[in-house]
Chains A and B, each alone.
Chain A
Amino acid sequence: MRVLVLPALFDEANKLRRLTVEVMQRLDGAGIDSVLPDLPGCNESRQPLEAQSLDHWRQCAAAAAAHFSATHVLTLRGGVLAAPPEMPGWNYAPVAGRQVLRAMLRARTIAAREAGRDETIEALQQTGRSEGVELAGWPLGPDLFAQLESAAPQPDAAQVEIDQGAIGGGALWLRAEPDESPEQADALAAAIATGLAPA
């Protein structure tokens, strides 16, 4: 058994970094292997983010699953959008690409307004689709932007949803400052270990 972990996207990846790693440590303690690759253009990847697309991320996630002989996949938040749909596993608090973009578009318009510039979400969306746009410090190319706009978790995927209510406590991706929660890591790891236990 080996679990491929697909991290949350962009700012949410930073907020959930500690939770992600803590879940992996707990799985390791329970004798379950897990691997956490960087999506191309994210975290320590040396690929440029602006050259990425969701299609490419999906191909890379499938390639990583094959390379590491992963049997299951755990996605966090927007990581679900890159997951191989036929792989069994879990989607923690899955989110549609549109919602991921909405918060980032909003952050940009709020920052612009503070700086005395007038930007609208609609105009930024058009720029995003045609030439790409930098949102909250993340340079998104037109392919990734457009594909995120229409990407959503697939209802017929082989993965089970784990929502925040099942984990308990306040969602860490919402925190203004990155934080950790040993209790939430315990709960998420336990849900996975239970799912992997022979019936």
Chain B
Amino acid sequence: MTELAPSRSDIDTKLRAILRDVLGLDAERVERFDGDTGLFGHLPELDSMAVAGLLTEMEDRLDIIIEDDDVDGEMLETYGGLLAFAEAKVVEN
């Protein structure tokens, strides 16, 4: 039996949970993130080490591999960009 690919909302939920853990924000605040919410370069606590932890955690929880070349400013700049990237990676797998 083939396992169904995780749905978009499932990826969205997991990604919000990871951001909640990384940023130490409450669920309600992360729930209000929309596609335009700024991340890297907008949130001072999200420095390169925190982003590295975020990407490594995304690999674990979404079961994806993120390559060197995948990481660019665009995918990290907004929540929408990061979600679109995560969805594309999950499909690719």
Residues in chain B near residue A99, CB distance under 8 A: 56
Contact of A104 among B23, B52, B57 (CB under 8 A): B52
- A166-189 contact mask (Cβ, 8 Å, vs B): 1 or 0: 000011011111010000000000
Q: What does DSSP make chain A's interface, helix, strand, loop or mixed?
A: helix
Residues in chain B near residue A173, CB distance under 8 A: 53
Shortest CB–CB separation between residue B30 and chain A, in angstroms? 11
Size of B's binding interface in residues, CB under 8 A: 24
- B57-78 contact mask (Cβ, 8 Å, vs A): 1 or 0: 1000000000010011100000
At the interface, yes or no: A107 with Cβ under 8 Å from chain B?
Answer: yes
Residues in chain B near residue A176, CB distance under 8 A: 22-24, 43, 45-47, 49-50, 53
At the interface, yes or no: A160 with Cβ under 8 Å from chain B?
Answer: no
Q: How far is the CA of A99 from the CA of B60 in the complex (A)?
A: 10
- A150-174 contact mask (Cβ, 8 Å, vs B): 1 or 0: 0000000000000000000011011
Q: Give the contact stretch, choosing among A23-31, A49-57, A67-75, A108-116.
A: A108-116
Residues in chain A near residue B20, CB distance under 8 A: 170
Q: How far is the CA of A179 from the CA of B20 in the complex (A)?
A: 13
